[in-house]
Structure 1
């Protein structure tokens, strides 16, 4: 018997990176998984790649109405869910002196508000004994250059999760935080890292990460599976960062 047989999961930002790797693993472990993303073509491609057991729903987590639409869709299709992984997020690296109000608001709208109102909308659909996984970041607890606004938007998630773990205790809904370190995903390209620059960056990261390398999305997916399937893990922040939080 697989770990998630018969379970239903939602993974926001499940069309790429850690979210897609987690969706693939959850499907392999027997779950039906709804992945969300902003771009229909990317979501559709991810669903085809993951295969049977995966379906998509398009929208922006920064849009409060999106969460209500998603909840209605899930209620109509499945009635209830077992796992909600609030994974969608954005990052734009910048020194504090260059951050515009628009950039600040965008980070908090997606990374903080989007998580809060996503849980608010979906929690009534989570079966008693289900669980919530919130994807945070090493940056929320370790000072990294040009990460100030991103770090602030992610740091809020730990406070949300700890409070939810107590709020939902009567329903036995567990709430945990997954905090990745540097992971080899598409986001490196979005941050302006060219293929020519990658070897130098990888060498630099190998020197500061005790594990000596980037993490892989599949390794974060395995950690998410642990949080989703172990019924006695609750209210924890799991750092999956190759030991970088210690360096």
Structure 2
């Protein structure tokens, strides 16, 4: 028996990195998982790699109609959700003086509005005792030059987590924020401009040298923390922010 046996989970942004690793770990713990992604080819590849206990539903969290379609697919097949892992999002490295209105809208539409309406539209399917996990970032609470837009969106999610935890406590739904530090994901290396193996090794060495634990994190380590928050192991944890960051935001 796994820690998530017979539970139904939604993982947004589940085609790679933290989302895919978390979907895989949820399945290993006994859950059935719906994953989302914007690109059909990558979504199919990810869903196929997860096997028969996963379904991919194409959608962009910045589009409320797409969120409706995702939630509709869950409702039609299972009629309930036990876990929402709101992971879809991203951010660009942009100096303050170069931020445009389009940059602002893109970041907040995906990271903030996308998370808000994913959770809102999932609520009617959420079971009593369910778990909502918002994926934040250490960028929300520490110095992150050229990442002010991204950090601001993640700070908004931390605020959402506190408020929603208070609102949903009567339903027994726990809401927590999981905040990774630098994690070895395709998105991280792309944002750092590392597009080949040598460049990625250089980024890993440079970034890892600034982390107290001495290295970057792995997506599977974030997924392990997600299992804790999603399962009965985290039954007394709500409104919290759990850092998985190698100490970079703590020391």
**What TM-score range do you get, normalising by the shorter chain?**
over 0.9
The 2-side partners of 1:103 and 1:144 are apart by 17
Change over 3 Å in CA distance of 1:113–1:178 after alignment to 2: same
The 1-side partners of 2:238 and 2:220 are apart by 22
Shift of 1:190: 2.3
2:11 maps to 11
Deviates more, 1:200-209 or 1:43-52: 200-209
2:207 maps to 205
> Counterpart of 1:83 in 2: which secondary structure?
strand
2:247 maps to 243
Residues 1-247 of structure 1 mapped to structure 2, 5 A cutoff: 1-191=1-191, 192-195=193-196, 196-229=198-231, 230-247=234-251
The 1-side partners of 2:226 and 2:177 are apart by 9
The 1-side partners of 2:188 and 2:118 are apart by 26
Aligned residues: 247
Shift of 1:186: 0.6
The 2-side partners of 1:112 and 1:203 are apart by 31
> Counterpart of 2:249 in 1: which secondary structure?
helix
Shift of 1:178: 0.4
TM-score by length of 1: 0.97
The 1-side partners of 2:50 and 2:165 are apart by 31
> Counterpart of 1:103 in 2: which secondary structure?
helix
> Counterpart of 2:146 in 1: which secondary structure?
coil
What per-residue deviation string (whole Å, max 9, x for no partner) do you get for residues 70-110 of structure 1?
22211111011100111000111110111111011000000
The 2-side partners of 1:188 and 1:157 are apart by 19
Cα root mean square deviation, aligned: 1.0
TM-score by length of 2: 0.96
The 1-side partners of 2:55 and 2:176 are apart by 24
Gaps of 5+ in 1: none
> Counterpart of 1:20 in 2: which secondary structure?
helix
Answer whether contact 2:189 2:200 (CA < 8 A) is retained.
Answer: no
Gaps of 5+ in 2: none
> Counterpart of 1:208 in 2: which secondary structure?
coil
> Counterpart of 2:108 in 1: which secondary structure?
helix
